[in-house]
Chain A
């Protein structure tokens, strides 16, 4: 069974960089097929797909965030990461990592609340 766990700072100051890591167990991030994804949910609001990174290292970002976003893989640790620069209060959200397959949905982590505040 695949499990995903998000980790990183819970509080980030405005204009700084948010960095989160997702640790995967039960599957290798080097395997083709799944898209290693990030999704966020503003408290009380809907879900927003942030982007994904493929096992080859090729990322694809939501056009609304692409100028501030970088995703990467660490195959030695079976982790993937998200880096979002120049954050504002609008980036306060629960951030989820997920293993999604194009045809078939997939598994999500429990999520981590990140608050942007001075």
Chain B
């Protein structure tokens, strides 16, 4: 199975801050990497797919980059509604696997 290692596991940030979350795959997954946002009691919401493509309707302050094994999700200016947990997921090979998540908390 491909292991997805996310870091940090949690972070505290303020409104307006720039936030970066990383995801590393245990082998190359080219760009079969997707980022989700999850809020309490809700299912994950797709933010970025194919490593860097913004899902329709998602604010442009979210961006993704990377290929191969190293990927990054960036929030350019954190907004109050962005406090949530973020997950990466690979769909390169079965079984599809997820990172353990990054909880973004209010400073």
Contacts and interface: CB of A to CB of B under 8 A. Distances in A.
B50 A103 contact: yes
A47 B88 CA distance: 10
Contact of B43 (A64, A103, A109): A109
A96 B38 CA distance: 12
Given A104-B34, A105-B34, A62 B46 contact: no
Given A103-B91, A105-B89, A110 B42 contact: yes
A63 interface: yes
A16 to B, nearest CB: 25
Contact of B96 (A49, A63, A103, A108): A49
B102 to A, nearest CB: 11
Contacts of B95: 49, 62-64
Contacts of B87: 46-47
Nearest to A110: B43
Interface in B77-107: 87, 89, 91, 94-101
A103 B45 CA distance: 16
User: B interface, by DSSP: helix, strand, loop or mixed?
Assistant: loop
Of A46, A96, A110, most buried by chain B (CB within 10 Å of CB) is: A46
A5 B36 CA distance: 18
Interface in B43-86: 43-46, 49-50, 53, 55
Contacts of A90: none
A49 B36 CA distance: 14
B43 A104 contact: no
A108 B50 contact: no
29 contacts: A46-B87, A46-B98, A46-B99, A46-B100, A47-B98, A48-B98, A49-B95, A49-B97, A49-B98, A60-B94, A62-B94, A62-B95, A96-B43, A96-B44, A100-B91, A100-B96, A102-B91, A103-B50, A103-B91, A104-B34, A104-B49, A104-B50, A104-B53, A105-B36, A105-B46, A105-B55, A107-B46, A108-B36, A111-B42
Interface of A: 46-49, 60, 62-64, 96, 98, 100, 102-111
